[in-house]
Amino acid sequence: MSDAVGDLCWGWAEVADDGPSAAGRRAARSALDAFGAGLVLAHDGSRPIVTGGDASISISHTRRIAVAVVGRTPLGVDLCELERGPRLWALIPRFATPREQALIASDRDAVVLWAAKEAGLKALGLGLLDGGVFDDPEHSPVHLASLVAYARPDLSLVIEDRGDAILALAYTAPSTTTVAPFM
């Protein structure tokens, strides 16, 4: 992720025989160590949290790699493999508004949309299935164009192509401009 996204610490880990969740914990430990002493990875029953300091954490993984991001601001990260594109088409009607669906022209577009929504919702402290926010996508209160209004006016979305995956980061930072491929 670019240096323009300052004050965040990143951790990466390859998925090994112990599985993607363990890789996520290793990535989190790396990010927490880089961020500062005394921070501990915990879980609130539905998502990872940080104890021992004023920080937020978000973790994502594919079948091959895990990423964790730590910062002092609400944030969310998602890493989605491009090979998942064909399978996402079946889910898009439930999770994408008609306007967003009209913008999806390829499997890659479906992956970008999925990763962006996941990251944005994580930054809001929600998940794709929390609170029924996508039970009626046409009238959903949360879609990419509304993430800024729904959350905070300084929520930014950055998308990065990682070769075989799309990395999406939603975060708040001073004086940022919202960047989103689907609006």
Please write the tens of the pLDDT for every residue from 118-127. Answer: 898 888 777 6
Higher pLDDT, 93 or 52: 52
From edge to edge, which strands make up the β-sheet containing 165-172?
Answer: 75-81, 165-172, 155-161
CB 97 within 8 A of CB 138: yes
Report residue 100's pLDDT band, with 50, 70 and 90 as the boundaries: confident
User: To 10 degrees, the CA torsion angle through 80, 123, 72, 47?
Assistant: -80
Q: Is the pLDDT of residue 175 over 50?
A: no
In this predicted model, what pLDDT tens digit does every residue of 130-169 receive, in sequence order?
545 555 555 555 555 545 444 456 678 889 999 999 999 9
Higher pLDDT, 132 or 29: 29
Q: Is the pLDDT of residue 27 over 60?
A: yes
pLDDT at 133: 53
CA-to-CA separations, 63 to 15, 46, 98, 104, 171, in angstroms, rounded: 7, 21, 30, 24, 24
**How does the average pLDDT of the chain come out, rounded?**
81
Higher pLDDT, 172 or 19: 19
Q: Is the pLDDT of residue 110 over 80?
A: yes
